[in-house]
Amino acid sequence: MVLIRKYRIRVLLAVILPVFIIAIAGCKVSYSFSGASISPQVKTLSVQNFLNRAALVQPGLDQAFTDALIDKCKAQTNLEVISNLGDVSFEGEITDYRTAPLTVAADAYAAMNRFTITVRVKFTNTVDTDLSFDQTFSRYEDYDSNLDLSAVEQDLSEKIIELIIEDVFNKAFVNW
């Protein structure tokens, strides 16, 4: 009886253990603290310089945007950033950079102004082309009209760029 029980356990282990090992070996699970979901086949990333084609051109904004996107991708992914075309690539242009009155006070002057930056981004994923997109991203910040734009422009630009970069990254890698 004990011999039969040992034999059954060995047979069971001989059958179940290989099936279990094959099942585990066939599974690929990747974890990311950034929320990014990137195919294991994607190894390289490229970011072409974003051109500033807005009617109002702010010097250095194009380079600041390009650098911020590269920095975000380096910090949140393990992809190698290369200068020529990567497995995934970003390119695009700044299409709008403006300020406009938002609300009018009782004395017919603007009480608040809205500062807006709009960027068109073309994302190409050569591994999974269904994830590629060509989309416009726009963000704004409101500021008191008593303040001169030049006094708040740098701060607001940095905030808006950060928000747009987050939107672009999420669209490309978090698949929202």
- Average pLDDT for 24-48: 68
- Percent of the chain residues topping a pLDDT of 70: 76
Whether residue 3 is contained in a domain is answered as no
Q: 57: domain CATH number?
A: 3.30.160.150
Whether residue 121 is contained in a domain is answered as yes
Whether residue 106 is contained in a domain is answered as yes
Whether residue 98 is contained in a domain is answered as yes
pLDDT given at position 106: 67
- Average pLDDT for 127-153: 94
Q: What is the mean pLDDT of the chain?
A: 84
Number of domains making up the chain: 1
Whether residue 5 is contained in a domain is answered as no
Higher per-residue pLDDT: 28 or 88: 88
Whether the Cβ atoms of residue 43 and residue 80 lie closer than 8 Å to each other: yes
pLDDT of 114 higher than 70: yes
Q: Which domain holds residue 66?
A: 38-174
What is this structure's pTM?
Answer: 0.77
Whether residue 99 is contained in a domain is answered as yes
